[in-house]
Amino acid sequence: MRLHLTIEQVPPLEQAPLEALQDMAVPFGRDPTRQELEAALHNLDLRAISVQAQAGPAYEHFNVWLDDQWAELNDPANRDIPVPPHINEPYLEASQAVGHILRERAALISQWERAGIEAEVPQ
């Protein structure tokens, strides 16, 4: 059984109230078991590592560009300096992927709480 959500299934956060996210993470209209949630969170962690590896260079390129343009950007006369597409597009794509992972994690954690499973706090 697949418990995790695909990126296509996760709506933008502003369009998805918490209740909708909770319902999305429930297969077959029931609360998942602890083992199902642990497996889904593990799967999500693996996908998050992949997204992080892909997002890192895009964020780094954006930050380097920002550092290079800092003096100009802080000049009130130059407030409308556009971010070049080769910098901006990968940054926006990476940000969307990270946002999807975070929303999916929120949905799974809310299911964990709704199922009444006590969370284990690392020592």
pLDDT digits (tens, 9 = 90+) for 50-80: 888 888 999 999 999 888 888 777 777 776 7
Q: Does a structural domain hold residue 58?
A: yes
Q: Does a structural domain hold residue 53?
A: yes
Dihedral through CA 65, CA 67, CA 69, CA 71, nearest 10?
Answer: 180
CB 78 within 8 A of CB 70: no
pLDDT digits (tens, 9 = 90+) for 77-101: 776 778 889 988 998 898 888 888 8
Which string of DSSP letters, residue by residue, matches 11-67? --GGG--HHHHHHHT-GGGSPPPHHHHHHHHHHHHHHHHHHHHHHHHHHHHHHHHHH
The tally of domains found in the chain comes to: 1
pTM: 0.61
Question: Which residues form the domain of 95?
Answer: 46-72+82-116
Q: Does a structural domain hold residue 11?
A: no
pLDDT > 90 fraction of the chain, expressed in percent and rounded = 8
Q: Does a structural domain hold residue 37?
A: no
Q: Does a structural domain hold residue 123?
A: no
Query: Residue with structure tokens 């992949």?
Result: 50
pLDDT > 70 fraction of the chain, expressed in percent and rounded = 69
Q: Does a structural domain hold residue 121?
A: no
Q: Does a structural domain hold residue 89?
A: yes
Q: Does a structural domain hold residue 100?
A: yes
